[in-house]
Structure 1
Amino acid sequence: MTGIKEVAQKANVSIATVSRVLSKPETVANETIKKVLEVIEDLKYQPNAAARQLRMSETTTILVVVPDITNTFFSKVLRGIEAVAIKSGYQVLLGDAGNSIERENGYINILRQKKAAGMILLTAGVEASVVEEIAAQYPVVLACEYLEGVDVPTVSIDNISSARKATEHLIKLGHERIGFISGPMNSVLGRDRLTGFYQAMARYNLRVEPDLVQEGSFSYESGYNMMLKFLAYNTVPTAVFAANDEMAFGAINAIEQKGLTVPDDLSVIGFDDIQFASIFKPALTTISQPAFEIGTRAMKLLIGLMKKEEIRKTQYILENKLVLRDSCHKCIR
């Protein structure tokens, strides 16, 4: 029976190198991997099944990169991705960018090293040219976010119109002095939701007070801290639109810490409709994204790219809806 020693001799490498090819291929040059696998096939070495599994993992592992794993919105998107992936024989590798462009670039390098068959980016923090370059060589899909002017398959909602819808809801309740806690301005979601807010205020000829627009980070803490700033002004807003639910929760708790109540003293509206939004007290009025469908649609697109199928439609804008709950009230001031 052929042993690892014979494989190493014929491939003109060490036994340790053969072992690494089978167990830790990322530590071995691609040319060496190819040579060793060819010898394994020729000699019908017993761990041949392991070699096939190595190649299979290169074609069935999907890399999904999220901007921040602590943001619970992405859990539903991931479930949608996995539902399609598992049914189609793929496995999902999750990468948490931690809102770091450097880490996001690091995950992109995994695709360059061919350790994954394709990638779904739930964040678009890196330069558009980088995404365009990697998408020209490997299957890549953007979900939740998008990049202007980049021809990469994308699944998202219209964040501008949905933010406009949320703002108009507050205006129709009689609110005119409205605060806005945005996402980070280096994020397309942060910029788009701010644009929607400005559009709604302009449509109703309402003045946007610069002090009542504060940049958050999509975190609970930033919502809490920005709300404290609003409450420190001589005239506080009657309503606040937070660009995601996590920041809305922080804003509500800051309001209540100051002895005020939502919605009697201030109305608060969020964005995303994460699971906790319906059980938070008060239950949060918010914009609902079809998170699970975003995930399933993105994975189906990626499978099409990996199978080199013709992709006739590359941009999917899914429906969103305003979910009315208890955190908004008619303005009584």
Structure 2
Amino acid sequence: MATIYDVARRAEVSPATVSRVANGHANVDPALAERVRDAMRELHYRPNAVARNLRRSRTTLWAVIISDIGNPFFTSLVRGVEDVAQRAGYSVVLCNSDEDPTKEGQYVDAALAEQMAGVIISPAGMANHLNRLVDARVPVVAIDRQQSGAHVDTVLVDNEQGAYLATTHLIESGYQRIACVSGPPGVFTATRRLRGYRRALEEHGRPYEEELVRHGDFREEGGYRAMASLLGPRPRPDALFAANNLMTVGAVECLVDSRIAVPDEMGVVGFDDVPWAHLVRPSLTTVAQPTYELGCEAAGLLTKRIADPERPPTTVTLETKLQIRDSSLRTRQA
């Protein structure tokens, strides 16, 4: 079995450098670190996890706590986290909170009990869970949502601007009564996207009408129910901005069941791209998020936090992009 000294000889570095790479320290020249990792792979070297954890008082595991494992948004995000984690010498444990603060708290308990090296979390709305990690000096990064009352590294997208672009596009496409299916009240992403929708209406001289807004649960069923309730009152809306991908799917399903033609009778724009958005007919206009990059940024911030626990918290905001397809381009006046 290969030892740390065998790896050092193969990589032509000191054993101390091998140790720093194996323990995930960031203060190693990237070229040297890659050489060490190559030597580890070639020699099938596996660090002694038990001894290392005794020295460090922590494992080499990261907990990634997300709100919905069934949402494709998180699939790509977690891949970005894992790719960076692996290069830094860490493994990822995936936890699904189901937007349930109690379940989220149980995973935070587990991260503390198992002495996880760090936590990346999409908060379900409880600042105290983040603060418990901070108080225990566990490196933590919030992703997708900014949590009031918690001073931690955070990675976001510009939710308000993405919603603003989506709603503005529907206005410029000639739609008059634009509805919004927002997310749960009080959830950071839902609040910011609703704000962008409202800003676009007001800047284009359109009234903000409460009867055109519904709050869903970020799930497909919630999108279906919200869309169905919007079809009842008259005059009904002629366009929809849905605040996440799964609710968009539910809303479109409702329109199909109701025999309402998209885009001529109802224009549709969703927030979050989906892999098949360009394959359905009509193809679906979406606000695309850089999901893989979100994960990479979060993992990068976590490695920096592990290397320098005292550094001030950083917030990174990434841009969204409107992917215009057929579902929002009216071909005739309804």
**Which bracket does the TM-score occupy, shorter chain normalised?**
0.7 to 0.9
How many Å apart are 1:298 and its aligned residue?
0.5
C-alpha contact (below 8 Å) 2:179/2:241 kept by paired residues: yes
Counterpart contact for 2:125–2:147, Cα < 8 Å? no
State how far apart, in whole Å, the 2-side matches of 1:149 and 1:54 are.
32
Decide whether the 8 Å contact of 2:53 with 2:59 is kept in 1: no
Closer, same or farther: CA 158–199 of 1 in aligned 2, 3 Å? same
Check conservation: 1:167, 1:200, Cα contact below 8 A: yes
Q: Is the 8 A contact 1:221 1:247 kept in 2?
A: yes
Distance 1:78 1:59 in 2: 19
Question: What amino acid is the match of 2:166?
Answer: A
**Following the alignment from structure 2 to structure 1, what is the Cα–Cα distance between the partners of residues 281 and 311?**
45
Tell me the secondary structure at the aligned position of residue 300 of structure 1.
Answer: helix
Shift of 1:215: 0.6
- Once residues 126 and 75 of structure 2 are traced to their aligned partners in structure 1, the CA distance between those partners, rounded to angstroms, is 25
> Partner of 2:176: helix, strand, or coil?
coil
When residues 50 and 139 of structure 1 are mapped into structure 2, their CA distance, relative to the original with a 3 A threshold, is closer
Write the mapping of 1:150-299 to structure 2, written as runs, cut at 5 A.
Answer: 150-299=150-299
Determine the structure 2 residue equivalent to 1:144. Answer: 144
Once the two structures are superposed, what CA deviation does each residue of 1:217-258 show, in whole Å capped at 9, x if it has no partner? 111111111111112222211100000121111111211211
Higher alpha-carbon Rg:
1
Contact 1:132–1:150 (8 Å) recurs in 2: yes
- Counterpart CA distance in 1 for 2:50 and 2:288 is 45
Are the counterparts in 2 of residues 104 and 126 from structure 1 also a CA contact under 8 Å? no
Contact 1:105 1:126 in 2 (8 A): no
What letter is aligned with 1:283?
A: S
- C-alpha distance after superposition, 1:193-236 (max 9, x if no partner): 11111111111121222221001011111111111111222221
Residue 84 of structure 1 is matched in structure 2 by 84
Query: What's the % identity of the aligned pairs?
Result: 34
**Alignment TM-score, normalising by the size of structure 2:** 0.80
1:97-152 alpha-carbon deviations (Å, 9 max, x no partner) = 01110010111112322431100002x22422442342242100011111235321
Q: Is the 8 A contact 2:285 2:328 kept in 1?
A: yes
Secondary structure of the residue aligned to 1:226 is helix
Note the residue ranges of structure 2 that are not aligned, 5 or more in a row: 1-46
For the 8 Å contact 2:73–2:291, the answer to whether it is kept is yes
Question: How far 1:311 sits from its partner (Å)?
Answer: 4.4
CA contact (8 A) 1:143 1:294 kept: yes
Contact 1:167 1:241 in 2 (8 A): yes
Counterpart position of 1:131: 130
Question: Is 1:113 aligned to 2:113, yes or no?
Answer: yes
- 1:49 CA drift (Å): 5.2
Q: What amino acid sits opposite 1:332 in the alignment?
A: Q
- Checking the alignment, whether the CA contact within 8 Å between 2:65 and 2:95 is kept in structure 1 is yes
3-state SS of paired residue (2:247): helix
RMSD over aligned CA atoms reads 2.1
Secondary structure, in 3 states, of the residue corresponding to 1:232? coil
- CA–CA distance in structure 2, aligned partners of residues 218 and 74 of structure 1: 13
- 1:173 shift after superposition: 1.1
Inter-partner Cα distance in structure 1 for 2:109 and 2:246: 31
Mapped contact 1:142–1:152 kept (Cα < 8 A): yes
SS of the residue aligned with 1:59?
coil
Residues 209-218 or 303-312, more deviating? 303-312
State the match for 1:37 in structure 2.
none
Structure 1 residue 302: Cα displacement: 0.4
Aligned position for 2:333:
332
Residue 99 (str. 1) matches residue 99 (str. 2): yes
Contact map agreement 1:182 1:242 (CA 8 A) in 2: yes
- Spell out structure 1 runs of 4+ moving beyond 6 A: none
Secondary structure of the 1:132 match is helix
Report the counterpart of residue 50 of structure 2 in structure 1: 51
